[in-house]
């Protein structure tokens, strides 16, 4: 592979405590050198003057609909969407059709990734058979065949005894456990946050307690079993408080926030906008502020999108019938930069940490660094670039996002995966 020199840019790499001008030399898919003013004559050159070079972004919570619902998203379209968003590694959940729960399912996922993907793909396997929360899948076999983590995401594990066994066995094999926390008895038939706007719109609500009681239960079980849990898409103030208390007591818990939960509130549903319908739902301004504070003080370790594609006709149904979920890969960085960094909640380095080395740490991946010898996964961003997100540029097969027409700042303009350029100047080339 030809050598590539990224020169003239500002490197921000929290794994090295580095923020300053550096050139980056890439060879054979690895970072060969990182230093000021590298003198290299036999390499292709990318002039990154005015840009910031970051470790490749990692999104550890996405939904690709292949196999089973290829009309919504495939590995090809999903990873093109990731590339446009500067995301070099994605972690698809297991809730496809069929569900990823056996060796054959993982092998097929691996085949799809090798055949179609233009970014790194690390598959998740189901924690229980059929994601029904009753019988455990074969954890050791799943790990041996490439599963990076376990999750029934989209479906909570309602039975506490089953959850206890899941914690014990996932700890034995060393697979991270990613949890969608929802008491379905409390959330049943709800379609948005239970509060003022659900009453105003006449829509059935989902109370915050539906999320919170499950987090409390699983913190207790993790403490009892000495297992570890990762809590997905935290959305309420009390949920953040519970995780903070759990960490203070030494419970092995990590957690994530999504850009939509630290950007929007339930008022975004006004007008019955199904593009703002997701689970857990958008909540109040107080909850949004608590999520931001959780990111600021480290209670919430990282940022992930919960990228969930759906077709236009599905989302254009009555609000109660429309599916939950929005796409998010392409707006991950500009929303983080605009809402957290420019707003003064996080420094640039802190924000990048939550998009790189923190998800790598939770998943045990050797990613998220630009040290010499590391995989050459890079994201180049123009922090001064302000532009409106348009439907025409979307690479996903789906368009279900409330952020179309929103002006944001700080856009990825280059994505390099394993030394290969897959996006340049806002155009996917992989």
Which entry of 306, 375, 377, 382 is annotated as an active-site residue? 306
In the chain, the N- to C-terminal Cα span, in Å, equals: 15
What does 15-60 look like in DSSP terms, one character per residue?
A: GGTEEEEEEEEEETTEEEEEETT---SSSEEEE-TT-EEEEPEEEE
- CA geometry: angle at 410 spanning 406 and 413, to 5°? 105
CA dihedral 121, 429, 52, 289 (to 10 degrees): -50
Residue 212's nearest CA partner among 169, 189, 244 is 244
Task: Please give the distance of CA 194 from its chain centroid, rounded to a whole number.
Answer: 25
Burial class (CB in 10 A: 0-12, 13-18, 19+), 103: middle
Q: Which residues pair with 9 in a beta bridge?
A: 22
- Annotated active-site residue 306? The verdict is yes
Strands annotated E in 199-342: 205-206, 228-231, 252-257, 302-303
CA distance linking residue 18 with residue 285, whole number of Å: 34
Please tell me the distance from the alpha carbon of residue 166 to that of residue 151, in angstroms, as a whole number. Answer: 10
Q: Which long-range contacts (CB under 8 A, 24 or more apart) does 18-21 make?
A: 18/370, 19/348, 19/349
d(CA 241, CA 247): 10
The residue behind tokens 């006449």 is 202
Beta bridge partners of 193: 206
d(CA 178, CA 275): 25
Taking the CA of residue 346 as centre, how many other CA atoms within 13 Å lie in the half-sphere pointing to its CB?
A: 28
Region at 121 (left for phi over 0; alpha for psi -120 to 50; beta for the rest): beta
Q: Which residues are part of the catalytic machinery? A: 306
């Amino acid at each position: 592979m030809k050598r590539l020199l990224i020169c003239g840019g500002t490197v921000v790499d929290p794994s090295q405590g580095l923020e300053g001008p550096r050139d980056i030399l890439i060879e054979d898919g690895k970072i060969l050198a990182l230093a000021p003013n590298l003198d290299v004559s036999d390499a292709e050159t990318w002039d990154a003057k005015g840009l910031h070079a970051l470790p490749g972004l990692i999104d550890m919570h996405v939904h690709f609909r292949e196999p089973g619902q290829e009309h919504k998203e495939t590995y090809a379209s999903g990873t093109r969407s990731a590339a446009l968003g500067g995301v070099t590694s994605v972690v698809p959940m297991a809730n496809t059709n069929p569900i990823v729960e056996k060796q054959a399912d993982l092998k097929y996922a691996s085949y799809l990734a090798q055949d179609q993907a233009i970014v790194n793909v690390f598959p998740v396997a189901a924690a229980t058979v059929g994601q029904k929360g009753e019988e455990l899948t074969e954890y050791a076999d799943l790990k041996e065949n490439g599963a990076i983590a376990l999750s029934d995401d989209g479906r909570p594990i309602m039975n506490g005894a089953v959850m206890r066994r899941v914690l014990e066995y996932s700890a034995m094999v060393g697979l991270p456990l990613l949890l969608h926390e929802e008491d379905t008895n409390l959330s049943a038939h709800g379609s948005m946050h239970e509060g003022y706007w659900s009453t105003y719109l006449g829509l059935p609500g989902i109370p915050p307690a539906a999320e919170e009681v499950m987090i409390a239960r699983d913190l207790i079980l993790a403490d009892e079993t000495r297992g570890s849990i990762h809590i997905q898409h935290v959305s309420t103030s009390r949920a953040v408080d519970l995780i903070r208390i759990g960490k203070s007591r030494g419970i092995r818990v990590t957690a994530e926030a999504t850009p939509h939960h630290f950007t929007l509130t339930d008022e975004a549903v006004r007008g019955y906008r199904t593009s703002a319908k997701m689970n857990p739902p958008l909540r109040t301004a107080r909850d949004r502020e608590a999520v931001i504070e959780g990111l600021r003080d480290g209670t919430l370790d990282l940022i992930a999108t919960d990228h969930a594609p759906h077709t236009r006709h599905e989302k254009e149904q009555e609000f109660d019938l429309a599916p939950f979920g929005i796409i998010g890969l392409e707006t991950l960085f500009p929303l983080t930069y605009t809402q957290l960094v420019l707003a003064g909640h996080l420094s640039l380095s802190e924000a990048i940490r939550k998009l790189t080395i923190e998800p790598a740490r939770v998943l045990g991946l050797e990613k998220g660094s630009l040290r010499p010898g590391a995989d050459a996964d890079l994201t180049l961003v123009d922090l001064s670039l302000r532009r409106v997100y348009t439907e025409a540029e979307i690479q996903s097969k789906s368009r279900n996002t409330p952020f179309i027409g929103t002006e944001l700042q700080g856009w990825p303009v280059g994505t390099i995966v394993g030394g290969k350029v897959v996006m340049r100047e806002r155009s996917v080339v992989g």
